[in-house]
A = this chain, B = another copy of it.
Amino acid sequence: MEGLKAILLICDGMADRPVPQLGARTPLEAADNVNMNTLALQGECGLMDPIAPGVRPGSDTSHLAILGYDPYTVYTGRGPFEAAGIGMDVRRGDIAFRCNFSTVDASMVVTDRRAGRIEKGTDQLAAAVNGMQIEDITCYFKESVAHRGALVLRGPGLGAAVTDTDPHEAGAKVHGAEPCDPNDEASAKTARIVNEFVRRSYDLLKNHAVNKQREAEGKLPANIILPRGAGMAPHLESFQEKYRLKGAAVVETGLIAGIAVYLGMDLIEAPGATGGLDSDIMAMGRAVLKALDDHNFLLCNIKGPDVAGHDGLPDAKVAMIQRIDEVVGMLMESVDELTYIVLAADHASPISVKDHSGDSVPIAFWGPDVRVDSVQAYDERSVIGGGLVRIRGTDLMNILTDLMGTQEKFGA
């Protein structure tokens, strides 16, 4: 495409706190990230609170915020984004769940939450339950990878505030879904439908040919489906409508892919992108560059730093950052002078926490016409004093579309 373009590079969980093993430096401070530092030196920097100061974001809520959709308004659960991410049709008002194929005994006690980590045949099992009618509700079900799947309920009068049917541990009985508030009739209806879906899934799957075959092979049958993480599908203006930008995403996780799909962005596959520390992230960078031929906005999420954070591995996190730094260098060298690069994290995943934290993250805008500030390096503390000072996730796209000249004036 012609004209101004942008790459939003989100390094998942990259921000951190001072790590004793790194001499009280953060992984970004300890890393040899010369290209990121050059980007910061030539760009405008600051701190960003993905949601708000101190608030611990999920990857879903942070990406919604960073793409300009206030999660406090639109988010009730990850179900709809998971379902969209595996290609299901999800419509406003649908109630969507993440699901596991599991194994239960005849008294509904879960013997394995992952049905012996089933790998094959889930498409046939899914076909057996997909399209089920319960009362005036249609139940759409689709398998995902391994033992995973998603359930979408469509029909009138449904609510999303229901408890999980998955007991989250083996040896426990399947839970009956319940409305969180007994006076919430819409959620009570959803609970009733889900419980019936679970019951019927057992009837339909227990003697299914796939399971007969598994049992003959000494494997656990995938004889029930257990939904959890209910969420109501929100109405989200498409990314293109909202920003007049043609967007695509090169990402590694189903959840973030689901958000991109939900917003109508194109998903671009990158060969070798695994979501792990071994991911071929340079291939992702090349996929981003290629996609700029026919898109003017590219979201790229590299999952590795978050993986190292969750595992509490400082050296792996530093190494991952250095690998990302090479991608940053490649992108800076390859793009034309009309392309912005925004470098950020969606949250911190500190080594000490082994989970997401509410710390602010460094952000840098690089490209034509930015007000270059005095920041010399890209890390949590070097960006203090930058021109962006401290912004929120929901500010990012406003700043970017302002630079790109695609934003309408508010007022006259």
Residues of chain A whose beta carbon lies under 8 Å from any beta carbon of chain B: 17-18, 24, 26, 47, 51-62, 71, 75, 78, 229, 255, 350, 352-353, 355-360, 369-374, 380-381, 384-392, 395-402, 405, 407-412
| B387 and A385 form a contact (CB under 8 A) | no
- What is the CA–CA distance of A61 and B56 in the complex, to the nearest angstrom? 25
Contact flag A359-B411 (CB < 8 Å), given A371-B380, A395-B54? no
| A54 and B370 form a contact (CB under 8 A) | no
Contact flag A395-B58 (CB < 8 Å), given A17-B370, A356-B409, A372-B18? no
Contact flag A384-B387 (CB < 8 Å), given A54-B401, A409-B58, A410-B56? yes
| A53 and B398 form a contact (CB under 8 A) | yes
5 A-B residue contacts at CB 8 Å? A18-B372, A54-B407, A58-B409, A71-B410, A374-B381
| B54 and A412 form a contact (CB under 8 A) | no
- Contact for A51 among B358, B408, B410, CB less than 8 A: B410
* Chain B, residue nearest A17 (CB): B369
Most chain B C-beta atoms within 10 Å of own C-beta, residue among A62, A255, A358, A392? A358
Contact flag A18-B53 (CB < 8 Å), given A61-B411, A62-B411, A409-B355? no
- Contact for A358 among B26, B358, B398, CB less than 8 A: B398
- What is the CA–CA distance of A410 and B402 in the complex, to the nearest angstrom? 29
What is the oligomeric copy number? 2
Residues of B within 8 A of A392 (CB): 53
- Contact for A53 among B359, B370, B391, CB less than 8 A: B391
| A381 and B390 form a contact (CB under 8 A) | no
Most chain B C-beta atoms within 10 Å of own C-beta, residue among A26, A58, A371, A396? A371
**A-B pairs with lowest CB-CB distance, top 10:** A58-B411, A54-B398, A61-B411, A54-B399, A358-B402, A53-B395, A389-B390, A78-B412, A58-B412, A56-B409
Residues of B within 8 A of A398 (CB): 52-55, 358
